[in-house]
Structure 1
Amino acid sequence: MAELSLDRLNALLEPQFLEVLGAFDCTHETSFPTWARTVVLLGPREPGFWPHLKAQPEWGGDDPVDHWSRRVIGRLACDLGGKARFPFGGPPYHPFYQWALRTGRLWASPVRLLVHGTQGLMVSIRGALVLRDRLELPPPAKPCDGCAQPCVTACPVGALGAHGYDVAACHAFLNQPEGADCLSGGCRVRRACPVSQGYARLAEQSAYHMGRFHRAG
């Protein structure tokens, strides 16, 4: 069988509104199977991801996003003769943040959240494919280079900035009427990123995740 190409993988991902966020070589690493050569990180492809997901059988149940991700990415991994890994389901958890940095296509932003070249601070990793094939991606330009970095000062209460994340302060603000905009439209820090503003993620999707984050806190 011919080695998996990026074009073929993208064709398999397109019907599920997923895209390749980045990849790295994992050959001979003991934390992966001996046959593994590449780890590919996957995330939502916009526009269209949220309406597609809401039309799936998992919607309406508990944790529909995670259950859908497990079914779709798990099946794709099996079809490709690989394995799937997910950023949920722990502890223990797989080191997705470190994996993302290894791809050279996601970076630590000035506020320490991951930032992507086309998705900005709205980037979301739904899972990873551990593949038998080598898959190389061309390196993109880092989006933070030359940026005015409005993300650093965007949080109205300074809960998220260059110093890190004060989760308690964030939840306290979301409990106030002034926090309604963050709950309904998504985190202002993520929205402040110029790259995020060009990414077609629906406010409804951001509101869903913010609501779950706040309830869990």
Structure 2
Amino acid sequence: MSSHHRVDDRHLKNISSELAAHGLILRGGFAFGGGEAVPESPEGRPAKSVLLVGQAGAAPWPHFMAWRRRQPQNLQNPLDTWSREVIDGISARFGASAVYPSDKPYQPFQQWAMRAEGLKPSPLGILMHPQYGLWHAYRGALLFADEIPIQGAHDPIHLCDLCVGKPCLKSCPVDAYSADGFAYQSCLAHARGPQGGPCRTGGCLDRNACPYGADYRYPAEVQAFHMASFAGV
């Protein structure tokens, strides 16, 4: 498909099918407004539309691990590398260009996600999804030269507004999350230290304390992988 062809519903279904083969899903999208500072489309002009690519729960994990076993043991940033390999291939087949959360200059992925799916941040900063809770992620985005016929975000319920006890703010031993924001250095020191074993093996205690989206909670091995990446251990 050449980049000057419009992306219609059939193409959206085909993109979704190709992503599903890797455990990934489309996470909504939108058309950029006039005058916005936006990245370039494949044609070198400002993109007109964006589709977000991500995951619900740990669905990509088996696909990623099968790929990982074929890579050098000392590969840096393997999950990002896998995501790029998968999404770059799909973007090329559908006349898009791909951008990623770790790319510089950084794109406003969280703002894009809020706009595409109508989500709001939890007290932990992670966007709260009405079905997936805190157990979801964005892996990249596809930029197109044309507008895409995708349904705009509705106004989903924000589960954090219904949560009275806020257990996500009461489970961390060093109170890494509070009204003052995220105490990055305290969290990092604890995760690396002798008392941080439960965090290293099972993931963030505050995140795991959230009662929503439990069916999508990442398995312990997935949480340990992400914690090791964060803490450098």
The answer on whether the counterparts of 1:26 and 1:32 sit within 8 Å (CA) in structure 2 is no
* More displaced stretch, 3-12 vs 65-74: 3-12
Which of 70, 85, 107 aligns to 1:94? It is 107
Cα 1:19–1:59 change in 2 (3 A) is farther
Instruction: Report whether the alignment pairs 1:168 with 2:179.
Output: no
Q: Secondary structure at the match of 1:16?
A: coil
Match among 76, 80, 88 for residue 62 of structure 1: 76
Deviation at 1:189, TM superposition (A): 1.7
Question: Is the 8 Å Cα contact of residues 130 and 159 (structure 2) preserved in structure 1?
Answer: yes
For 2:127, the equivalent position in structure 1 comes to 114
Task: Name the count of aligned residue pairs.
Answer: 215
**What is the deviation of 1:209?**
1.0
Q: How many angstroms does 1:135 deviate by?
A: 1.7
Could you tell me which amino acid in structure 2 is paired with residue 4 of structure 1?
D
Larger RCO (CA under 8 A, 6+ residues apart): 2
Is 2:8 aligned against 1:4?
Answer: yes
CA distance in 2, matches of 1:201, 1:59: 25
Q: Summarize deviations over 1:1-47 as a string: whole Å, max 9, x none.
A: 67432544322211010012232221443423346332122212445
Letter in 2 for 1:44: Q
CA deviations 1:160-180 (Å, max 9, x no partner) are 233210011112212333211
2:89 counterpart residue number: 75
The percentage of aligned residue pairs carrying the same residue is 34
Per-residue CA deviation, residues 43-88 of structure 1 (Å, 9 max, x unaligned), is 1244542111011144742211111111111111111111111011
TM-score (normalizing by structure 1): 0.86
Which of residues 14, 18, 28 is equivalent to 1:22?
28
Q: How far has the Cα of 1:121 moved from its partner? A: 2.0
Residues 59, 8 of structure 1: CA spacing in aligned structure 2 closer, same or farther, 3 A cutoff? Answer: farther
Larger radius of gyration: 2
SS of 1:41's equivalent in the other structure is strand
The separation in 1 between residues aligned to 2:72 and 2:20, in whole angstroms, is: 20
User: TM-score, structure 2 length as denominator?
Assistant: 0.81
Q: Distance in 2 between matches of 1:118 and 1:85?
A: 26
The alpha-carbon distance between structure 1 residues 54 and 35, as it changes in their structure 2 partners (threshold 3 A), is same
